[in-house]
Chains A and B, each alone.
Chain A
Amino acid sequence: MAEIKSHIGTQNKKGQTYTDPWKMMHEAPRNPSFYTGSEVIKEALRRASCDVMIAYPITPQSEAAALIGELFAEGYIGDYFRGESEFAVMSQCAGAAFGGARVFTTTAGPGTMRAMENFPMWAGARLPIQMIVTCRGINSPLSIQPDTIEISYLLNTGMLVWHAETAQDFFDWILKGFMVSEEPEVHLPLALCCDGFFVTHTKDVVNLTPTDMCLPPYDPYRSPVPCMDMECPPVRMMRDPFIMKSNYISYATHASWQQEIWAAVERSRKHTIKWINGLIDTENTDAEVVIVASGTAVSQGREAIRLLEDEGVRCGLIKVKSLRPWPGEEIREATKNAKHIFVPEFNVTGWLAKEIKATIPNSERVHAGPHVCGGMTMPPEIIVSEIKTALGLRSESLAGRGS
């Protein structure tokens, strides 16, 4: 922390003051602004003291990537360029982070999948890169529409994975995310996810911190691994007998290395709780019916709860903010009174419901749904219908709406 403190109060070349991150995020005045999610990403980056941003176009993150290019032109980003593909971008991000830079990128859908090999590599190399994932469909036939299936592929990469509900979450968590992932005992990449279009392309009032304040610069000397060293693992890879040899010592080293990545995920828990005020948010969890959701499914769940209250059905809400680290203990505690747990999701497989089922006792309480996918919206009425049907209450057929 000594290195961070030494910068606080000084100014960068744009005249922004390096500010104590906690004061900046929790005590500084906020300015309400009406922005799209993409514009919010730009505004967060303006305040992030980011060294390198690497871009590649893929909907729906292209606008954010282009807007950050404007920041570079204005002098707020150290370096900015377009990679040759998503795989190249993520590899280039690794190179920049190996060299000791604070690195940021954005991707989406098939881009996330194309670059996938890099994410466990980032985690294994302990590179605290931040990647925005504006989720969309990934399968053929091609869809650019909102769908959160790609998050499920990120869950076992060793990255931290957070799922923002709103543009406000996005603004705050981009800045706070650097603080968590750059802690020396964590030092892992963060996939900060949102539901594409719903968050990136809609406008909302977002309370921004002052433009003349910014995060202290990244201090690579606090890293748990040396900066890029061609003689040491993980850079020294394929040519090395240690990596390739089939013997117990080699296996034990690899096994310990993997364990250390997941230990670091665990260590992020206390910092994540501190910075984003808990891994989950809860409302009325003494109710017998509880909705558990992440991303914009939380917003739809909130509206469904309002509709249910009009009909005399009391329902609680759990907003899952962090998926890695996984809030297992928190969800067990928050669902202990629930007889019915509903998990609305914007994907076809219901990965969040599976995680919750694996976490809580009496998992038959979990109703995995409703699901929508392929870009469909999730009207609150279908959540209401699912809940009422499960409770044995009469529910009107939604197929007839509007007729």
Chain B
Amino acid sequence: MTQYRVLPGPEHFLPPAAASMGIYLPNPGEAHINGVIVPEEKAYEEAARQFLMAQVPTIFPGPLVLWAWNEKAAKKAAAVRSLYETLKECVQPGQKPMLIPMPDYRPKYPKINPEVEINPNHPNLTIWHNKIDCCMFIGVHCHQANLSLKIIRGGTSCYTVAMCAQAGHEDAMLSFRDASVEKILKLGEWIRKLKGTVKPRLTSAKTSASN
């Protein structure tokens, strides 16, 4: 069994892909935390805890849930919005939830506007600029999500969560698989359930984004 663990960085000049370090993706009904396979239920609790601990908990919705390109995407987008509203309701003063889209994968030149979007080719810029210390990717194509997750792990200390509609992501610190509207809403329920029980990292602003 591998000793490698998928932990918040900054990990390395060029961190390895977690899959190449022996980290396996979860099977249906499972999730992983730091590369260790766990029952999905445990991952909801941990993801909710991480969101409530963070100074700037952020959701990054991607093209698969944006643009209402089919009925399922529209429903997921509504669920993501609901999760964001829940997060705003449940955080404490001083915490600043954000909802920043990854609208597409086009390289942005001469420079991305990190206030309004994140890009898989340089996601660290958005993380750094907004001092995001916990984020969740949802609706991002798996290849692009993995690029982002690896670069974030390499250069920032941000805790990463993936709510993946396919098989999950080893390069996130916590990953769900087979994401659905129900699972997105269930994460919101867990956030509500843990509201007021988790102490936010409000004093760690200097180091949380690890610039």
List residues of chain A with CB under 8 Å of any chain B CB.
Answer: 126, 183-185, 187, 222-226, 229, 231-233, 236, 240-243, 249, 252-253, 255-257, 259-260, 262-264, 266-267, 270
Contacts and interface: CB of A to CB of B under 8 A. Distances in A.
Nearest to B166: A184
Across the A-B interface, the 3 shortest Cβ-Cβ residue pairs: A242-B107, A224-B142, A263-B19
A298 B144 CA distance: 40
Given A255-B14, A259-B16, A260-B17, A240 B107 contact: yes
Given A256-B147, A259-B16, A260-B150, A184 B109 contact: no
Nearest to B147: A256
Contacts of A253: 120-122, 147, 151
Contact of B104 (A223, A231, A259, A262): A231
Most chain B Cβ neighbours within 10 Å, of A240, A243, A263: A263
Nearest to B155: A252
Given A184-B142, A222-B166, A225-B143, A266 B19 contact: yes
Given A253-B122, A256-B147, A263 B107 contact: no
Given A183-B167, A185-B142, A267 B25 contact: yes
B61 to A, nearest CB: 15
A126 B105 CA distance: 15
B20 A262 contact: yes
Interface string B26-69: 00000000000000000000000000000000000001000000
Q: Is the interface of B mostly helix, strand, loop or mixed?
A: loop
B146 interface: yes
B151 A252 contact: yes
Interface in B1-32: 14, 16-20, 24-25
A240 B150 CA distance: 22
A252 B107 contact: no
B167 A266 contact: no
B143 A231 contact: no
Given A185-B167, A226-B63, A126 B143 contact: yes
Given A183-B167, A222-B166, A255-B14, A267 B19 contact: yes
A236 B14 contact: no
A249 B122 CA distance: 6
A232 B14 contact: no
A266 B154 CA distance: 20
A266 B141 contact: no
B19 A233 contact: no
A266 B146 CA distance: 14
A305 B167 CA distance: 43
A242 B125 CA distance: 15
Contact of B144 (A183, A225, A242): A225
Contacts of B19: 263-264, 266-267
Nearest to B17: A263
Task: Point out which of B14, B120, B166 has the most chain A C-beta atoms below 10 A from its C-beta.
Answer: B166
B170 interface: yes
A241 B154 CA distance: 23
Given A185-B25, A225-B144, A252 B14 contact: yes
Given A185-B167, A259-B20, A267-B167, 18 more contacts: A184-B167, A224-B141, A232-B105, A233-B107, A236-B107, A240-B107, A241-B109, A242-B107, A253-B121, A257-B147, A259-B16, A259-B150, A260-B146, A263-B20, A263-B146, A264-B19, A267-B25, A270-B24
Interface in B68-122: 104-107, 109-110, 120-122
Interface string B125-161: 1000000000000000111101100110011000000
Contacts of B147: 253, 256-257, 260
A239 to B, nearest CB: 11
B24 to A, nearest CB: 7
